Structure 1
């Protein structure tokens, strides 16, 4: 489905959150920046960790010879997931205010998965397009071209 005039476009990943508004129409997308936020990525994993990963007891039969290590918590991924959840909350607030009727989401696979789990039902009703691609560092014309190509691919062929 083509992106209608005044549709909201969210481009998000674990570090950036970009909100655009389509000031064009369904034939000519013209994205204008409404908000741009970037997470401070200054914290390093080693600064967040307090201890080495633990081990799980293998049980009486396993003895001391086999103690599998528990997987280490990925704090950086947790921070990125929380950033994407924050984007979902911003969408919820905007949807409940009636700020947009149509929404296009562009996000890489992991971020899109986290975002989909967090979307409010009012936001879900407004989603007209989701694109599984990392685009937060790309210029606006590249994002516009991606959306145009994606929406053209979804249109049924003329018979």
Structure 2
């Protein structure tokens, strides 16, 4: 019995803060013939549904101009944005695992600007070396055929 060997994947990642499509490029040339390898979804409701606490207040012993007990408000935590960033970090972990296992040959990242920025920071140097292109667009609502056309343009 012969062991089946898997060629490393030429992957196109299409992601935003709530969905990630891992698409294998089956084409051996410079065009795209994509096939869905995996889909990840992130249940990330709006901040108003995630956190109800009011922003905190900071009290200092001496305020501006030496006045005692100055107070300042803290910014509202954007739980929705944090959820998107955590989701992007989990995508980066999955990509790094593929790099480490030797199953990722090249990578094209098509992602919303927030997710793309988070991925850039979160992926390992080894995975970053496999990135062939980065496109700051959200194509997650498109079909695979529409994504192929958008990438070819």
Please tell me the TM-score bracket, short chain as reference: 0.7 to 0.9
User: What is the root-mean-square deviation in Å for CA atoms of aligned residues?
Assistant: 2.3
- In structure 2, what is the Cα distance between the partners aligned to 1:35 and 1:137? 15
- In structure 1, what is the Cα distance between the partners aligned to 2:90 and 2:119? 9
Which residue matches 1:156?
none
- In structure 2, what is the Cα distance between the partners aligned to 1:53 and 1:64? 22
Residues 64, 70 of structure 2: 8 Å contact kept: no
Q: Under a length normalisation based on structure 2, what TM-score does the superposition of the two structures give?
A: 0.83
Which residue matches 1:101?
105
**Number of equivalences:** 144
- In structure 2, what is the Cα distance between the partners aligned to 1:40 and 1:133? 21
- In structure 2, what is the Cα distance between the partners aligned to 1:29 and 1:94? 21
Unmatched segments (≥5 aa) in structure 1 = 150-159
Which residue matches 2:138?
134
Kindly indicate which of the two structures has a greater share of residues assigned to strand. Answer: 2
Correspondence 1:53 to 2:49? no
Unmatched segments (≥5 aa) in structure 2 = 1-7
Q: Secondary structure at the match of 1:68?
A: strand
Which residue matches 2:16?
13
Q: Under a length normalisation based on structure 1, what TM-score does the superposition of the two structures give?
A: 0.80
- In structure 2, what is the Cα distance between the partners aligned to 1:115 and 1:27? 24
Q: Secondary structure at the match of 2:29?
A: coil
Which residue matches 2:123?
119
In terms of mean alpha carbon deviation, does 50-59 or 90-99 score higher? 50-59
* Per-residue deviation, residues 55-92 of structure 1 (Å, max 9, x unmatched): 23363335489743211111111111111100000000
Correspondence 1:23 to 2:15? no
